[in-house]
Amino acid sequence: MKFSDILKSASSNLLRNKGRTILTIVAIFIGAFTISLTTGVNIGVNDYIDKQVGSVGGENQIIIQPKVSGSFGEDGEPQKYDAEKKTSTMQQYEALDSKDVEKVKKIKGIKNVVPMKSFTIDYVSGANNEKYVFPASETMDTLNIDLEAGKELNQKTSDFEVNLAPEYVKSLGFKSNKDAVGKVMKIAVSSSATKEEKIIEAKIVGVRNTSLIQGGMSLVNNALVDEITKINEDGLPKAMTGQYGAMIGEMKKDVTADDITKIKERLDKAGYAGQTIEDQIGMIRNVINAITGVLTMFGAIALLAASFGIINTLYMSVQERTREIGLMKAMGLGSGKVFTIFSVEAALIGFLGSLLGILGAVGVGGLINQIAADSFLKSLTGFTLIQFSPMSSGVIILVIMGIAFLAGTLPARRAAKLDPIESLRYE
């Protein structure tokens, strides 16, 4: 008997008692549906987090700042006031300069260091000439900026460019994100020493998607940063120019968690504090994974219940087809073939239930995404709550088919062990 014949036989046998088979498939459907939906939420949320992280820093980048003692000691207890050290509850970060950059470059594990310049913008104005406070930051050309419209900043051009935060589009008088792209905005910058104010015109080349990590933060290219910094430092003593708030250290691309820990230890000894982007959002990711993990357990419980349904369905099938099994074995069909027939039936139930469950989850997920985009996720542009991947769907189907196969081994073994003579006498 060929496998195709076994598959046809298994399919026809399942249709003998449609009601029982359908109920078993429904039980598997519930489990597959729940697991697929929770897995889709996990993929969607983590994809959004990855986009947010990609706009701030890469996996091989570490933010470096001067090490500052806080209000609590290493044991977690409040620090006592030290009059000599002038310990206070609020301590400002010391500014970094070119000497710090060169010092950090020599630390083992750090390939390159890019200083993040400190600059101040008085206000910005757009099409309606209204003035607004404007938080902005420079960015590295290696990052992937999550944009709603337009393009990323060109770090090699001498033109002044801005990736505008979406919160500023309507405030600056633009009709939409797409309408803002290509428009010119005015940036007011003044000197820290002379207080003389100058107006810079910059082109909006793109509009960001809403950022949870950098909410309301716009990005400016290197040329614009240099111009703003130049105006800010105009009139200042030389000792107060060329200072940075932080540095971005670049590590090797395949850096491991153990490597990062050692680099942080070396930075600490040198008087610096290092923090990766994953350190900042790792807890959020862990909470999301924990929540979806708990929800997935409910799907696993449903599959466990469904596996008993498969056992019951096939046990009943073996009992009803005892004479038929005896006849097949009397005609020369081996025990292995009989075992295979019932095992394929179990796997087929698992396949149908899981496939229908995934298709149902995709349909419901699309509906939920539409509702979410129009309501509670309306402000989070670029966030698709539920996403499905062919790989994860394929894994779910294979796992459920495996569970169904294992559940079907007990009745399949019973069918394979039936004595053909006794089976033919069975009433």
- Domain assignments of the chain as residue spans, ordered by start: 3-54+284-425, 61-276
Sequence-distant (≥ 6) Cβ neighbours of residue 131 within 8 angstroms: 123, 124, 125, 188
pLDDT tens sequence across 113-130: 888 888 899 999 999 999
Rg (CA), the chain: 32
Mean per-residue pLDDT for 132-160?
87
- The span from the CA of 113 to the CA of 111, in Å, is 7
Residue 391 predicted with pLDDT over 80: yes
Q: Kindly state the average pLDDT of the residues 220-248.
A: 89
When pLDDT is cut at 50, 70 and 90, the band that residue 184 belongs to is very high
With b meaning 16 or more CB within 10 Å and e meaning fewer, what string describes 258-267?
eebeebbebb
Q: Which residue has the higher pLDDT, 108 or 321?
A: 108
Q: What is the DSSP string of 282-324?
A: HHHHHHHHHHHHHHHHHHHHHHHHHHHHHHHHHHHHHHHTHHH
Local structure of 259: helix, strand or coil: helix
Q: How far apart are the C-alpha atoms of 74 and 79, rounded to whole Å?
A: 9
Band (pLDDT 50/70/90 cuts) for residue 213 is low
The pair phi, psi for residue 129, each rounded to 5°, is 65, 10
Predicted local distance difference test score (pLDDT) of residue 390? 93
32-36, 66-70, 192-196, 301-305: which range is least confident on average? 66-70
13 residue type, one letter = N
Contact between 223 and 244 under an 8 Å Cβ cutoff? The reply is: no
For the cut 50, the answer to whether the pLDDT of residue 86 exceeds it is: no
Task: Compute the half-sphere exposure of residue 248: CA atoms within 13 Å on the CB side of its CA.
Answer: 17
pLDDT for position 89: 42
**Of 12-26, 297-311, 313-327, 397-411, where does the model show the most confidence?**
397-411
Could you give the angle at which helices 335-374 and 18-54 cross, rounded to 10 degrees? 50
Computed over every residue of the chain, the mean pLDDT equals: 84
Give residue 363's pLDDT band: very low, low, confident or very high (50, 70, 90): very high
Report the interhelical angle of 390-417 vs 277-320 (nearest 10°).
30
| Bridge partner list, 115 | 247
- pLDDT band for position 56 (cuts 50, 70, 90): low
**166 with 210: CB under 8 angstroms?**
yes
* Token couple for 65: 């700042």
Tokens representing 70 are 């806080």
What is the pLDDT, as a whole number, of residue 296? 82
- Note the pLDDT of residue 350: 92
DSSP 78: B
pLDDT at 378: 79
Residue 389's pLDDT is 92
The pLDDT value recorded for residue 91 is 45
Mean pLDDT (whole number) for 101-107: 91
Checking if the pLDDT of 92 tops 50, the result is: no
Provide the 3-class DSSP secondary structure of residue 238. Answer: helix
Distance CA 362, CA 386 (A): 9
State the burial class of residue 257 (Cβ atoms within 10 Å of its Cβ: 0-12, 13-18, 19+).
exposed
Phi, psi of 162 (to 5 degrees): -135, 135
Which residues on neighbouring strands pair with residue 406, listed in sequence order? none
Cβ proximity of 207 and 163 under 8 Å? yes
Which pLDDT band holds residue 73 (cuts at 50, 70, 90)? low
Sheet hosting strand 112-117, strand order edge to edge: 112-117, 244-250, 61-66, 272-276
Lowest mean per-residue pLDDT among 91-95, 126-130, 282-286: 91-95
Element containing residue 360 per DSSP (H, E): helix 335-374
**Nearest Cα to 137, choosing from 163, 114, 98?**
163
Is residue 343 within 8 A of residue 12, CB to CB? The reply is no
Q: Hey, what are 115's tokens?
A: 């200083």
Q: Would you state the structure tokens that stand for residue 18, as one six-digit string?
A: 């449609």
Segment 95-119 mean pLDDT: 88
Q: Any idea which of 175-189, 279-293, 330-344, 396-410 has the lowest mean pLDDT?
A: 279-293
Q: Which of 354, 386, 380, 381 is nearest to 367 (CA)?
A: 386
Confidence grade of residue 53 (pLDDT, cut at 50, 70, 90): low
Q: CA–CA separation, 220 vs 116, rounded Å? A: 12
